[in-house]
Structures are given as structure tokens and as C-alpha cells.
Amino acid sequence: MNVPVLELKNVAKVYPTTPPVHALRRIDLTVDSGELMAVVGPSGSGKSTMLHIMGTLDRPTGGEVTVAGYRVAELTDSELSGLRSAHIGFVFQAFHLLTGYSALDNVADGLLYTGAALDDRRERAVVALGTVGLSHRIGHVAAQLSGGERQRVALARAIVGDHSLVLADEPTGNLDTKTSEGIVELLHDLNDAGTTIVVVTHDLEIAETLPRIVRLRDGQVESDRSKVVA
Amino acid sequence: MSNGDFHSSIHPSDLVRTATVGLRTRPLRAALSALGIMIGIGAMVAVLGLSESSKSELLDQLERLGTNLLTIEAGAGIGRGDAELPDESVDMVGRIAPVEATSYVIDVPVNVYRTDLIPEAQTGAISVKATEPGLLETVGGTMGVGVFLDDATAAYPAAVLGSVAAMRLGIDSTEGTPLIWLGDEWFAVTGIMNSLELHADLDRSVLIGEAAANEFLAHDAPPSLIYVRAEPEDVLTVADVIPSTANPQFPDQVEVNRPTDALEAAEAADDTLTALFLGLGGVALLVGGVGIANVMVISVLERRSEIGLRRALGATRRHISFQFLAESSLLAGAGGTAGVLLGAGITAGWAYYRGWDTLVPPVALAGGLIAALLIGTLAGLYPALRASRLSPTEALRT
């Protein structure tokens, strides 16, 4: 299956500071449906900027971005919101769970802006929490969960909408090695089940376990290497 | 490829749920910021309720007393010495067509004592007035004990006590017909009147018959004060013609009063106070609104990552601004509801204590809520705008 979920063509991002910062220069990248990919690079290499542009949270200053077949440049701000709610799931380093809300409702919030009713959202959240192995923690609030469990809840929130693309920004950045391994394993499982995942990380060890690694340096793709899957 | 087929939408019930996130995660702060609005609205509703309840009490009182009673006395004009009402003035006023009843009192310049052994200087500040049997009905009085003067007793040394006079003389019953020492004569007490709301002077008086005053005290004088009951719709017309009727020669020496005017004047003074308190309530409300705006601005700063997350989940700018606007309105609405209840409670409590009917104007209840919501919305405008203008990447960078 070689349907591109995400295409960056000659993408550039310049921050208009003095002097201007060229965060991204002429990036060409295609992510196909069903891929599991790592984006690595040192701090300041443009990883986060690229993730934001892939996720339509930010617009490039040059080039063209296409997500799920839609050219981002042609969409208004609120249409981009709609695109995100329908096609893109996010996982953040800081989890960003709502305190005081149960795991179930945090996951159900992944569908909040699709217009689905609460009952329907909760029903699907139960399934997603089962997928990440947290069926037994459904009613717990964020404060009662361990770091690894919180990130699993965040993952469940990202996949609850069956999005075309899941973007994970340093998903293991706040976790110890053992917990990180569990999350990476989960990413593999989700990918095996068909989810397209892009992981931005500075942890090369984790990146090495993923089928494709894109290295960024100074806003440019330094290398793009796919493992030959046996 | 169409680009118009995306739009984020949120289920209406979730709009309310998201608006309560801040209230649920920080209940104490929410309660404190709603408190200001509650105090403001509570004060305003209570002021309006109390003013309305006391006004209804006044109307009851006026209805009970009747606003159709006029009093006539000789005005002491400058340079005229002591003016007097002519002897025939009572009869003449009685002939004005819409006049239903007249009565009068004549001041008798003697002192009254419980016994003849009491030193003369200890008068007890009780005045003696001569009158006729119709007085009680004309002024709308009632008897506490005993009977008022009648045609028979008015010619004998009999006396009726005003409520204050009775207290000062130490007489609370007519049993055994107590005697009082009045102008060097013994008078028998036949009755004690209940207090008269509009005639404190009668409360402090001992009333005797005019004939008795003539015979036993050798006092004969024109009426000091005439009471006139007129048909209610013609009171003002009657008041206009009284001076020239009562004293055709010197109409400007006749002073006509309506005792109930004093009550209405007192009420008008209350209105000024009401306006003042309403103003104070308004200030409290304004301060409450500023408090909510302040809390909302802080809340937006603190919840940047939540705003970023929501944008990532697909919230539009409008969803974000609505969430914060609704939260601010909810805060103020909750404060307003509590304030309306507080104000109504205060009114009910005070009215109960004073024995009034509780009357909280519905306009104050509805107006209080609407004002709170309006202030909450205004207070939330700027924070909501700020929240919605936050770029998602900036919001997530925390």
C-alpha cells in the first residue's frame, strides 16, 4: 500500500526574527499509509517545527504540505482544525492530560471536536483504552496514573479517532527506560494494526527500533533510511 | 479535491462540559470569584425587595388609616399673634358637600395628676383636651378598655385616656372607676384608647367632654384642632376650600394638613436611600466583574497547554473563545443565582422579622440574573479573545 498520507514538498520555515531563523530548508518527505517512522536530530535541527507543520499546527513559509490528500495551503484556519480532528492524532512529551478528568474522558476528548455525542465517544474510548492495555484504569484520574500509564492514555486519545496519521513528539521524553520500551512496543503494535505513526525523538536507541529513520540537521534531511524488513 | 468538507464541530452538551473544566478543576477559585458577583447581586435584590416590601407595608398602613383625614388648625402667622379658629368653623366645614364627618378638640390649659397629693410641678407632660363623642370614629381610633365619651358622660366629670397618658398615670384598667385629679376636680376614667398611629398628640392626652370643661373647669374656647373625614376622591378639593370656609375673614390663618403625608414623605426619603444602596450594590457588582475578568486572564495563562491540546484535537479559534466566554458567564451566572437567592432570603428574613409581607419584585430576580450574565460575558470577552488568538504551537510550548 503506497498511498501517501503526508507529503512535504520543498517545505521551508523561516521565523521572522532578526536575524531570521531558517528552521526548515527545502524538506522533501513522503509518509505512506501504514508506515512507522522516526525523525531524529540534535536540538535545534528543526524536528519540532517539522512535526508542527506535519500536524498543520503551523504553516510553512515555503513549499507545499499535503495531508490525507488535502493541500494545507488551500485550507482556512478552521478547516485545518477540521482536518486535524478527522485525520491527525497527537502524542506529546508532557502527555497533556486534563487533570481531574478520568482516563476514559481524556481519551473520549480525542473525538471531542468531531461532534460525536459523549456516550458514543466514551464507547470508543473504552475500546481504545483496551488497545493500549489500560482497561483496568478507565475510571482513574490523571493524578492516579503512573507516567507510562499517562502516556498510554495519551496514545489511546490519539488513536481513538482512527486517524490517518499519529504524530508523537518525544513520547518517551518524560519516561524511564523500561517504561519507554513498553511505549515503543505499543507503537509497534498500533502500527501493526494499521496506524501510520511518525515519532519525533532525540533518543537514537528508540529510533533504531523503528523501520524508517529520517535524520535532520540544520533544517535539512541528512539521511532517510528504511530498514529492510525481513 | 474539495477543500470545503472539513469543519470541526462539537456536540452542544460538550460545549457546556468544556465550559465547566475550569470550575471543576479549581472549585475554590471559581467560588471566590463568583462571590463578588453574589454579593453585588444579593445586595441589589435585597435592597429592591426590602424597599418593595416596606412600600407594600406602607400601602397597607395607608389603606388601614385612610388618606382622607384632614386636620385644620389656626396657623400662627408672623405678626398676627395667636390666631384662632372661629367657634362656628366646625359647623361650616361640616357643610362642605364631600365632608363625611368632622370632630374637634379644644386645648384645656390645666394639668392632670393621679391624685391631689402629687406636687404640682410633676405634670407628666399630659395635656387635657375637651372634645365630643364623635372624635373616636372620625380619627379612626379604637378603645383598649372601657368606653369612649358619650352624650351623657360628656357632660359629667368623666375622662378618657390616651394610651401614653394612661401609662404615665399608671392606669391600665377602668375597673373600680379610677379617679384622676384634673384642674382641681376629680374625674372618673371611663376608658383608655389604643394608640393612634397618626395622632401621637391624642395618645398623650386626657379627653373630657366639652360640656364638662365648661361646667367643671369653666373653660370655653374655640376649637384648637378640627378633624375632617372627606370622601377619598375629593380630599384635595376639600382641602382647597377649607381655609375660606373655616375662617372666611382670615383664610390665610388656617392651616390644613393631611397626616398621612408624613408617612409618604418618610417613604420618599427611603427611596433616596434605596437608590444609594442600589448604587453601592452596582459598585460591588462591577468589582465582582473585574475580579472575574482577572481570574479568567490568569486562567488563560495557566491553561495554555490545554488550549494547545484542544487546538491539536481539532478545536477552532471559535471553540476556544466560546469555552472561555461560557466559563466566565457560568461563573457570573452561578454568582448571580446565589446572589438572587441571598437577596430574596434577606428580604424574606427581614420582612418576617418586621411582620411584613415578603415582596421581591420579579424584575429584580430576572434583572439580577441577566445583569450577572451580562457582566460575566463582558468580563470574559478579553480573556476569551486572548485564548483564541494563541497560536497552537506557542500554546503547546510549555
Nearest CA in chain B to A99: B25
Which one, of B311, B137, B359, lies nearest residue A96 by Cα? B311
Distance CA B219, CA B214 (A): 5
pLDDT category at B187 given cuts 50, 70, 90 is very high
Residue position matching grid coordinates 384608647: B193
Over residues A75-93, the mean pLDDT reads 93
pLDDT digits (tens, 9 = 90+) for B72-85: 888 766 555 667 88
Per-residue pLDDT at B258: 84
Q: What is the pLDDT of residue B4?
A: 47
Whole-number pLDDT of residue B377: 94
pLDDT tens-digit map of B195-216: 988 888 899 999 999 999 998 8
The count of other CB atoms within 10 Å of the CB of residue B146 is 17
Q: Which of A98, A114, A124, A200 to mutate to test the interface with B (most CBs of B within 10 A)?
A: A98
Classify residue B23 by its DSSP letter. Answer: H
Cα–Cα distance, B83 to B253 (Å, whole number) = 7
What does the longest C-alpha to C-alpha distance in chain A come to?
53
H helices present in B104-209, as ranges: 135-138, 163-169, 200-203
Residues in chain A: 230
Cross-chain residue pair A58–B391, CB shorter than 8 Å: yes
User: At residue B3, does pLDDT exceed 50?
Assistant: no
Residue pairs between chains A and B whose CB atoms are closer than 8 Å: 111
All residues at 6 or more sequence positions from B156 whose CB lies less than 8 Å from its CB, including other chains: B188, B209, B212
What is the spatial distance between Cα A210 and Cα A184, in angstroms, rounded to a whole number? 9
B1/A114 Cβ within 8 A: no
Please list the alpha-helical segments (H only) found in chain A.
Answer: 47-54, 77-87, 103-108, 118-131, 147-159, 177-192, 204-208
What domain range is A128 assigned to?
35-47+82-226
Q: Does B142 touch chain A (CB under 8 A)?
A: no
Would you call A123 an interface residue with chain B, using a CB distance cutoff of 8 Å?
A: no
Question: Is A160 part of a structural domain of the chain?
Answer: yes
- Could B311 and A114 be called an inter-chain contact, meaning their C-beta atoms sit closer than 8 Å? no
The nearest alpha carbon in chain A to B313 belongs to: A85
Do the domain assignments include residue A127? yes
* Packing angle of the helix pair B362-389, B317-354 (nearest 10 deg): 160
The CATH number that applies at residue A117 is 3.40.50.300
Place of cell 400662627: B76
**SS3 (DSSP) at A211:** coil
A213 inside domain:
yes
Q: What is the pLDDT of residues A166-218, one digit of tens each?
A: 999 999 988 898 889 999 999 999 999 899 999 999 888 899 999 999 999 99
Indicate whether A205 belongs to any domain: yes
Q: How many CB atoms lie within 10 A of CB A195?
A: 23
Whose cell is 505513526? That residue is A197
pLDDT above 80: residue B65: no
DSSP letter at A114?
Answer: B
* CB-CB neighbors (< 8 A) of B312 in chain A: 55, 57, 84, 88, 90
Reading the block at residue A10, the C-alpha cell is: 520543498
Q: Which residue in the set A71, A84, A112 is minimally distant from B10, CB to CB?
A: A112
- Section A10-32 average pLDDT: 93
CA distance B334 to chain A (A): 21
Which chain B residues touch A81 with a CB distance below 8 Å? 6-8, 311, 314-316, 319
Distance from the B357 Cα atom to the nearest Cα atom in chain A, whole angstroms: 47
pLDDT given for residue A34 in this prediction: 93
CA A198 – CA A5 distance, rounded (Å): 11
Instruction: Tell if the CB–CB gap between B6 and A52 is shorter than 8 Å.
Output: no
Residue to test with chain B: of A43, A84, A159, most B Cβ within 10 A: A84
The chain-wide mean pLDDT, for chain A, equals: 92
Residue B1, pLDDT above cutoff 50: no
Buried/exposed B33-71: b ≥16 CB within 10 Å, e otherwise:
bbbbbbbbbbbbbbbbbbbbbbbebbeeeeeebeebbbb
CB A106 within 8 Å of CB A203: no
Quick check: helix, strand or coil at residue A105? helix
Nearest to A51 by CA among A88, A4, A14: A88
Judged by a CB distance cut-off of 8 A, whether residue A90 touches chain B is yes
Each residue's pLDDT tens digit, A107-149: 999 999 999 999 999 999 999 999 999 999 999 998 999 999 9
Per-residue pLDDT reduced to its tens digit, B287-331 = 989 999 999 999 999 999 999 999 999 999 999 999 999 999 999
Is residue B7 less than 8 Å (CB to CB) from chain A? yes
Q: Min CA distance, A81 vs chain B (Å)? A: 4
- Check residue B184 and give its pLDDT: 87
Question: Which of residues 13 through 52 in chain A touch B, CB cutoff 8 A?
Answer: 52
* Three-class secondary structure of residue A142 per DSSP: helix
Q: What contacts A8, CB < 8 A, 6 or more positions away?
A: A27, A28, A29, A30, A50, A53, A54, A60, A63, A64, A65
Contact B9 A110 (CB under 8 A): no
Tell which B residues from 65 to 94 touch A, by Cβ distance under 8 Å: none
**Count of positions (residues) in chain B:** 398
Using a CB-CB cut-off of 8 Å, the residues of chain A touching B310 are 112-113
d(CA B261, CA B364): 28
Average pLDDT over residues B168-179: 90
* Angle between helix B12-19 and A118-131 (nearest 10): 70
pLDDT at B80: 56
Q: What letter does residue B230 receive in the DSSP assignment?
A: E
B25 touches chain A (CB under 8 A): yes
- Asked if the structure places residue A18 within a domain, the reply is no
**DSSP string covering A166-198:** EEEESTTTTS-HHHHHHHHHHHHHHHHTT--EE
Predicted ipTM? Answer: 0.94
Quick check: is A61 in a domain?
no
CB contact under 8 A, B13 and A70: no
State which amino acid sits at residue B52. E
- CA–CA gap between residue B86 and residue B91 (Å, rounded): 10
Q: How confident is the model at residue B5 (pLDDT cuts 50, 70, 90)?
A: low
Measured CA to CA, the distance from residue A89 to residue A81 in angstroms comes to: 12
End-to-end CA distance of chain A: 17
Mean pLDDT of chain B: 88
Q: Closest CB to A57: pick one of B18, B312, B398.
A: B312
For B10-24, B189-203, B252-266, which range has the lowest pLDDT when averaged over its residues? B252-266
Tell me the residue ranges of DSSP E strands in chain B: 69-74, 99-108, 112-113, 127-131, 143-146, 158-161, 179-182, 185-193, 205-209, 225-230, 254-257
Cβ pair B3:A58 closer than 8 A: no
Residue type, B332: A
Q: Are B77 and B253 in contact (CB under 8 A)?
A: yes
Distance from CA of A86 to the nearest CA of B (A): 8
Number of separate domains in chain A: 1
Kindly state whether B204 is in contact with chain A, defined as any CB-CB distance less than 8 angstroms. Answer: no
Out of A109, A110, A113, name the one closest to residue B319 (CB): A113
Do residue B392 and residue A58 have CB atoms under 8 angstroms apart? yes
Provide the chain A residues 124-163 that lie in CB contact (below 8 A) with chain B.
Answer: 157
> How far apart (Å, rounded) are the C-alpha atoms in residues B101 and B389?
79
Cβ <8 Å between B6 and A79: yes
Q: Which of A15, A49, A80, A81 to mutate to test the interface with B (most CBs of B within 10 A)?
A: A81
Q: Is residue A221 part of a domain?
A: yes
Percent of chain B with pLDDT over 90: 45
d(CA B61, CA B58): 5
Using CA atoms, how far apart are residues A157 and B141, in angstroms rounded to an integer?
83
Give the mean model confidence (pLDDT) for residues A39-62: 93
Q: Measured between CA atoms, how close is B308 to chain A, in angstroms?
A: 9
Contact (CB<8Å) A78/B8? yes
Which residues in chain B are contacts of A92 at CB distance < 8 A? 309, 396
Please say whether the beta carbons of B63 and B232 come within 8 A. no
Cis? peptide before B232, omega within 30° of 0: no
What are the C-alpha distances in Å from B334 to residues A82, B34, B90, B177, B372? 33, 7, 65, 67, 9
Mean of pLDDT values over B169-192: 91
Q: Distance (Å) from the C-alpha of residue B394 to the closest C-alpha of chain A?
A: 10
Give percent above pLDDT 70 in chain B: 97
* Lowest mean pLDDT across A57-61, B63-67, B291-295: B63-67
Does any CB of chain B come closer than 8 Å to the CB of residue A71? yes
Query: Is residue A10, in this structure, part of any structural domain at all?
Result: no
